[in-house]
Amino acid sequence: MKVTPWEVEGEVDYERLLREFGAAPLDIRGMELPKPVLLPLRRGYFYAHRDFDKFVEDWREGKRVSIVTGRGPSGPMHLGHILPFYTAKWFQDKMDAFVFIPISDDEKYLVKRKLKVKDVESFALNNVLDILSVGFNPEKTRIAIDMKDTELYRPAVVVSKRVTFSTMRALFGLTQESNVGWVFYPAMQMVHLYIPQILYGPHRVLVPVAIDQDPYIRVARDVAESIGLVKTAGLLSKFMPSLESPSGKMSTSDGGEEKVIWLTDDRDTIRRKIMKYAFSGGQPTVEEHRKYGGRPEIDVSFLYLYYFFEEDDRKIREIEEGYRSGELLTGELKDYAAKKIADFLEAHQKRKEKLLRRDLEDVVESFSFREDERRRIKEWGREF
């Protein structure tokens, strides 16, 4: 198993990752979260954290809280990529959180050998459109694109002076062959995590991401207090399982484009992919399935429903028990999962169409830094 922000290989052992990274297991019992609690948070897809309890406490005390979560535009987005943004939206709706969304076109340009500048630029716009289709409030949300919003460079210089090469190498798995831009880039992402504090003064900022992004949170926490900021909090998820394996990561790198659910897939495509590829915990024949029953805990369609798409606790229990007893067949389970995923994506696509009826530049502009915010970023860090 190998997990860095740029590479995930093999079966992911989530418990081992926790120990290696040193994050805390998440137990939301006893935390006073707004209701209804977001499904992936309630059902354990988010399974680890750093200071999430303190973040919730600060919110309960009426203090300002913010969210940062971003995207590296290496291609179109799939279902797994959009989850942190729906999570951010939940925090915005329930806790009135300010949300900052950085787009790291620089990161993907530096890391992916084949990508040209024009590729990452165009993926950035394509991805922003999907992210905005989540439905953020423009008054409380900002988006910045690293190579376009260049005021982020100055704070990145301040931050980069506080991290050694050996730290970067250890945390990010850099090698002698890594280009020097790649060595510097983590300083940019650290700045992303600090932006709400740079704009509005020290306060708790939560970063909801899949666990591969945790190294950035760790290094940002190490430096925060030395530059007068509050330590960054993290809410860490597992990966959305790939269609073909309950413990793999939904990704194009090995499965090819066909084995991923894209945000643009229509109902028929989703159904076909689930029917054809979704790993099943069922038995090879209907007779055996009726006799021995299936294993929901390794069935990808079941896991999608459980973590993301079946809100109703009674219904999910019925499905689980029905499948385990052999009463519910694999085809029936797949059919239902495909329908729920398609419902979710159709709603997303409808919001996107609505957005596309407006001038895209105007839309992006309404989520960009305002003049006074640009000034605050430019003026930050003089004393360091």
Chain residues that interact with ligand TYM, rule: CB under 6 A = 5, 68-72, 80-81, 83-84, 102, 104, 107, 189, 192-193, 207, 209-210, 212-213, 239-240, 249-251
Judged by beta carbon, residue 107 or residue 299, the one nearer ligand TYM is 107
Judged by beta carbon, residue 8 or residue 333, the one nearer ligand TYM is 8
Per DSSP, the chain holds a count of helices (H) and strands (E) of 18, 9
- Rounded Cα distance, 192 and 67, in Å: 11
Closest CB 309 distance from ligand TYM, rounded Å: 14
Closest CB 40 distance from ligand TYM, rounded Å: 10
Closest CB 231 distance from ligand TYM, rounded Å: 15
Give, in order, the Cα–Cα distances in Å from 273 to each of 26, 258, 321.
32, 8, 25
Closest CB 101 distance from ligand TYM, rounded Å: 8
- The 3-state DSSP class for residue 4 equals strand
Closest CB 65 distance from ligand TYM, rounded Å: 16
Closest CB 291 distance from ligand TYM, rounded Å: 35
Q: Which of 222, 240, 223, 246 is nearest to 299 (CA)?
A: 246
**Residue written as token pair 């959180």:** 97
What tokens appear for 135 in the block? Answer: 């439905």
What tokens appear for 22 in the block? Answer: 């040193």
Cβ–Cβ contacts within 10 Å for residue 359, how many? Answer: 9
What tokens appear for 203 in the block? Answer: 């306060």
Q: Which of 381, 368, 375, 371 is nearest to 149 (CA)?
A: 368
Judged by beta carbon, residue 66 or residue 69, the one nearer ligand TYM is 69
Judged by beta carbon, residue 189 or residue 280, the one nearer ligand TYM is 189
- Rounded Cα distance, 202 and 65, in Å: 10
Number of residues in the chain: 384
- Rounded Cα distance, 1 and 19, in Å: 14
Judged by beta carbon, residue 237 or residue 283, the one nearer ligand TYM is 237
Half-sphere exposure of 100 (CA within 13 A, CB side): 26
- For residues 282 and 346, the answer to whether their CB atoms sit within 8 Å is no
Closest CB 367 distance from ligand TYM, rounded Å: 16
- Rounded Cα distance, 229 and 194, in Å: 8
Judged by beta carbon, residue 111 or residue 319, the one nearer ligand TYM is 111
Judged by beta carbon, residue 85 or residue 323, the one nearer ligand TYM is 85
- Rounded Cα distance, 18 and 47, in Å: 9
Judged by beta carbon, residue 69 or residue 197, the one nearer ligand TYM is 69
Closest CB 240 distance from ligand TYM, rounded Å: 4
Closest CB 239 distance from ligand TYM, rounded Å: 4
Judged by beta carbon, residue 70 or residue 282, the one nearer ligand TYM is 70
CA 321 to centroid of chain Cα atoms: 30
Q: Which of 261, 241, 271, 274 is nearest to 348 (CA)?
A: 261
